[in-house]
A and B are shown apart, each in its own frame.
Chain A
Amino acid sequence: MSEPKSTTVEVRLPSKMGFEKVAMSTAASVAKLMGFRDDRIEDLKTAIAEACINAIEHGNRLNEKLSVGVVLSAGPDQLEVKVIDDGKGMKTQPAKPDIDRKMHGEEDPRGMGMFLIQALVDEAEWVAGGDGKSSYVRLMIRLDKVVD
């Protein structure tokens, strides 16, 4: 029995803010070719942007000598994205942001990125590389079947 085929697209970004938009547009093009709805493409773009920003800012600490890898694997009914950096990964997941605590100065106004990623894609997991020198976030978004 043959495995379902997947098509892979890879992009390498410099660790410089703003280049997450290259990953966004690449992912949007792949998702469009796969037949994703426009609203799901917007969800994917924001999730990938936030994953790349985390990789640039926290994983690679804005070191422009390091790059962020973005691997898009298009399967028959889902798109998997890995965003890879040279950081050690996270030991703990940040708490879900609370707008009331932010408004009352009890919580940093920042810190929405991981929440947005988890809320906008079907699966998200953060994986620390075994060597302690790299980590990645894996996102997965499913292609909804159009019901006639």
Chain B
Amino acid sequence: MQSETKSRVDQLTSPAGHAVTVLRFEGDIASTSKDAVLGAYQTLPKATAKLILLDFTKVDYINSSGIALVIQLLIEASNSGQKVYAFGLSAHFTKVFTMVGITKYAQLFPSQTEALAAL
């Protein structure tokens, strides 16, 4: 019933010349998304992937279990000295992420262009 979560990784360079690892999600982010969210994150090389950008552009539905997975990702990233940013959330999920406090640990941007420009 829940649409499968897909994820893929892109390597980009910000206008300032920093290497940015983009983790792109597609589908629902719910309790069944552990492999697509945490699993995909855990494949990233911790020594070189220091700036991580989460792309929610193609995500329509995030529930509290999905938010918990994002928080787990943020915990692991924080423990590994990585910085996490996100873009592409709808206005509603931008509000929800702000309400639960995720924005204290992952700055949100409207678009990839704006996110990269800030990194």
Taking Cβ atoms with an 8 Å cutoff, the residues of A that contact B are: 16-21, 39, 42-43, 46, 49-50, 53, 97-100, 102-103, 105, 108-113, 115-116, 119
Contact = CB atoms under 8 A, between A and B. Distances in A.
B101 A116 contact: no
Interface string B89-106: 011100010011110110
B83 to A, nearest CB: 14
A112 B67 contact: yes
Nearest to B70: A109
Contacts of A99: 71, 100-102, 104-105
Interface in B24-80: 30-32, 61, 63-65, 67-69, 71-72, 74-75, 78
Contacts of B64: 50, 53, 110-113, 116
A105 B49 CA distance: 23
A19 B100 contact: no
A36 to B, nearest CB: 13
Given A17-B32, A102-B71, A115-B100, A53 B92 contact: no
